[in-house]
Structure 1
């Protein structure tokens, strides 16, 4: 059994950024990163929209707001340093009626509190910027951009390896046993020992915490985000990212038009309850995942409080016409034939026993471990400062 000073679990961008930062801070430390898939960035990192978020929606003073503001700057700098693709195309939040126009004021104020540049546009100014978009007004956020997060993740992994770090892919963690000296990690039929463990497990975050015997009051509930891609002839339909004004009573942001770094444009996502944590196909059920979810009282409370909106999401998932209606509110020129297939993603959403969604980052600790339990959007944008934060918290408890 090999011994390490530190082990990280999870090969998404948060895990890789943390491993890289740990190796930079402690170059003499032996550090292992394990990932259950055969390649890195297979789940949330590799299936997100590629947006470099500015931090419009996040509560002032929250970890999300601070991480996102710094993360956007650091992500852009990393792309420039390494010649990775990015584009600061800006974002428009479009109001389509009087109610949404009133809601714009709260978002505008939140931008100012979070120190984000924002401009209010009239309907005429919106039309001049985006001739294909209809609305009574909009907020323009120039800092928002797009990039390729799997490429960022791969570059960070290269740097980690070049500094002497070790990455094992195809290495599922099946057991964690903490002792006074460290943690024994069972990896398939093998094992390793580390003085300290940082777990960035995404969809398995709750299970990894429970393996360590940590008392947690949440479970990960998977939500499928389904997307469509517009045909190539519509790649220039918009110049910016186009978002609706969100309903503050609903937990998700709504369906938007996203320019992708490859030049294409996607439509989405919705938010449909998933019956399999890694269920990216059209119909997915995993009995163990269902048992975990249905046996958790927080799931039933969440379902009861969001029954109407959940049924609406499900209806639009199986009927493209309903999905299209949501997009045509601000882009009326699109038709059903324009909605082509595109891979789905899964959001790992932490839900507490009382049924409330965890909206900010959530961490749990034991004497020899630190767990990222909820890493909501903008986790990819924020990966570099999150990694630094985790390194700082680990260093408080464990001297490398």
Structure 2
């Protein structure tokens, strides 16, 4: 069994295969020198409750189940974690209907929520201001890089780092993969968990995925006065987008991150405006879905760009929740890039997307909350891969 991608989803898949079919040889190919170098290791470390996601969707089911399993996994292996709960805060009257809709969605997803007024908000977060809020008790924090490393160890898989896949040859007996170093690795089944490059790997295998990864950079600041925030505080999200808005997150290390925003990245691993890969950028710009998405959502994108280019604009977004914050309180922190699947018609894929081809399983959309949901996603992907192995 070959797994491409050493992020948390690929490693959770290898781990699940070893649990479901002991003795199965699994090789994980990762182009970086170690695991969790991209989406897994560059997020805010939140264990998401599943409150935002459409009832019955894979995101809703896997996030609710995955949050409980992630806490249990961290406890079992002694990994740092904490169930903190979080507040989702409405700061304008126009947001109140959406906040109430989230209460209903949370209940439909089986998530306990508590509605709060301004005085109750202050009891949890003395420096946060809002008209109303909901408290979600099952949200937590952990170190997903540490989780990925433990999954890698516990999976028993053969981990080949520095192995960028450049060619895939699918045969009746299985799949042969060539790496940039010229090595050829063979397996009976291929699992594509390549994250930011999953659509490219699908095309290497001869499959047209019907989507493209459009990379969005999420930029963070660190709060110089972390004592202003006790836990996790989120704005009411816009349901038209899969992004949650600029939020306040106290991490497992005690620091508080502010962000992220969501701006188009100029490379799949474009962690700053100075990182440009012309070939990747051209591929994004020529994908009809990217152009249609841009035309449809340009106003939203303009606001995100403004917050990227102006620290003052970013600070104003923070001050909606935390009025005492000033520009001087914000210090740049490392950015992340979200691998967002976009369909040809410009639709942003809003759920996990897994497709199959002969002797192949492609995980084609697994951004947040994929880290939270990685254990159930891994089991489902492993189930599909083992079914191919049995044919």
Among 28, 31, 35, the alignment partner of 1:36 is 31
Are 1:258 and 2:253 an aligned pair?
no
- Structure 1 residue 21, shift from structure 2 partner: 1.2
**1:101-116 → structure 2 map (5 Å cutoff):** 101-116=96-111
Q: Secondary structure at the match of 1:349?
A: strand
Aligned to 2:347: 356
The answer to whether the Cα contact below 8 Å between 1:146 and 1:261 also exists between their aligned partners in 2 is yes
Aligned pairs for 1:212-231 (under 5 A) are: 212-231=205-224
SS in 1 for 2:237: coil
1:178 to 164, 170, 173: 170
Question: How far did 1:240 drift?
Answer: 2.2
Distance in 1 (CA, whole Å) between partners of 2:152 and 2:243 is 31
TM-score (norm: length of structure 2): 0.98
Aligned with residue 169 of structure 1, among 148, 161, 182: 161
2:117 counterpart residue number: 122
CA drift at 1:247: 2.2
Q: 2:335 aligns with which of 303, 327, 344?
A: 344
Q: Find out whether 1:325 has 2:316 as its counterpart.
A: yes
RMSD of the alignment, in Å? 1.1
Q: Deviations over 1:41-74 (max 9, x none)?
A: 0000000110000001000000000100110011
Give the superposition deviation at 1:78: 0.6
User: Could you give the per-residue CA deviations for residues 161-180 of structure 1, whole angstroms, max 9, x where no partner exists?
Assistant: 3xxx2110000000101011
Question: Once the 2 structures are TM-superposed, how far is the Cα of residue 235 of structure 1 from its aligned partner?
Answer: 2.1
Task: Return 5+ residue gaps in structure 1 as ranges.
Answer: 1-5
Q: Which of structure 1's runs of 4+ aligned residues deviate more than 4 A?
A: none
| Structure 2 residue ranges without an equivalent (≥5) | none
Structure 2 CA distance, aligned partners of 1:134 and 1:167? 48
Q: State the match for 1:291 in structure 2.
A: 282
Report what 1:146 is aligned to.
Answer: 141
Shift of 1:285: 1.0
Determine whether 1:93 maps to 2:75: no
Tell whether the 8 Å contact from 1:11 to 1:41 is kept in structure 2 after alignment.
yes
Matched with 1:61 is 56
Q: Is residue 89–residue 239 contact of structure 1 (8 Å, CA) maintained in 2?
A: no
Q: Distance in 2 between matches of 1:56 and 1:28?
A: 38
Q: Which residue of 43, 47, 51 maps to 2:42? A: 47
Measure, in 2, the Cα distance between the counterparts of 1:221 and 1:282. Answer: 15
Indicate if the aligned counterparts of 1:178 and 1:184 stay in contact, CA closer than 8 A. Answer: yes
Within 5 Å, which residues of 2 pair with 1:275-286?
275-286=266-277
Is 2:265–2:273's contact at 8 Å kept on the other side of the alignment?
no
The equivalent residue for 1:26 is 21
Residue in 1 aligned with 2:379? 388
| Whole-angstrom distance in 2 between the partners of 1:112 and 1:349 | 27
Work out the CA distance in 2 between the residues paired with 1:67 and 1:44: 18
Contact 1:241/1:257 (<8 A) preserved: yes
Contact 1:104 1:245 in 2 (8 A): yes
Higher mean alpha-carbon deviation, 185-194 vs 281-290, is at 281-290
1:251 Cα shift? 4.1
Alpha-carbon separation, structure 2, partners of 1:215 and 1:238: 46
TM-score using structure 1 length? 0.96
Q: Which residue of 2 aligns with 1:3?
A: none
Distance 1:79 1:362, change over 3 A: same
Deviation at 1:281, TM superposition (A): 2.9
Q: Which segment is superposed worse, 239-248 or 11-20?
A: 239-248
Aligned mates of 2:134, 2:256 — CA distance in 1: 20
1:207 aligns with 2:236: no
How many residues of Structure 1 are paired with residues of Structure 2 in the alignment?
390
Shift of 1:250: 4.0
Tell me which of 276, 293, 317 is aligned to 1:302: 293
